[in-house]
Amino acid sequence: MPFPQPLTDPAAQLIAARFRALAEPMRIKILDRLREGEATVQELADALETTRQNVSKHLGMLAREGVVERRKDGNFVHYRVSDDGIWQLCFLVCSGIERRLDDLQAAFV
């Protein structure tokens, strides 16, 4: 269901919250690792060379915003991306950055 036009204040707040959830390099790196599939906090910490506490903090924010979800398996909690729209957004952003870098590079050649 599309958001109303013009955006209502609550809709704008929801959109801003989603962008805030993505506006941290470590969260982007976590999502990039989760493209490979589910992972535990320890697996993410190892892959990203950071602490479990740091990963947990960022996963908590991503979970609150509905970007990732948890699956308990015995003593382990596995995380995965729950909103596949994130990949579309990342593709659009990365494509724009790639074009900008190409333009900058062409300007200096």
pLDDT given at position 3: 66
Within 10 angstroms of residue 24's Cβ, the number of other Cβ atoms is: 14
In a domain, 50, yes or no: yes
Residue 59 lies in a domain: yes
Decide if 46 contacts 3 (C-beta within 8 A): no
Which residues are CB-neighbours of 17 under 8 A, at least 6 positions away? 65
User: Within a domain: residue 94?
Assistant: no
Which CATH number belongs to the domain containing residue 17 in this structure?
A: 1.10.10.10
Tokens matching residue 6: 């013009």
Domain-located, residue 51:
yes
* pLDDT given for residue 43 in this prediction: 98
Sign (positive or negative) of CA dihedral 35, 37, 40, 46: negative
* Domain count for the chain: 1
In a domain, 90, yes or no: no
- The residue segments making up the domain with residue 77 are 9-82
Asked, for residue 72, whether it belongs to a domain, the answer is: yes
State the pLDDT at residue 106: 84
pLDDT averages per 10-residue partition of the chain, 109 residues: 79 90 94 96 98 98 95 95 87 82 81
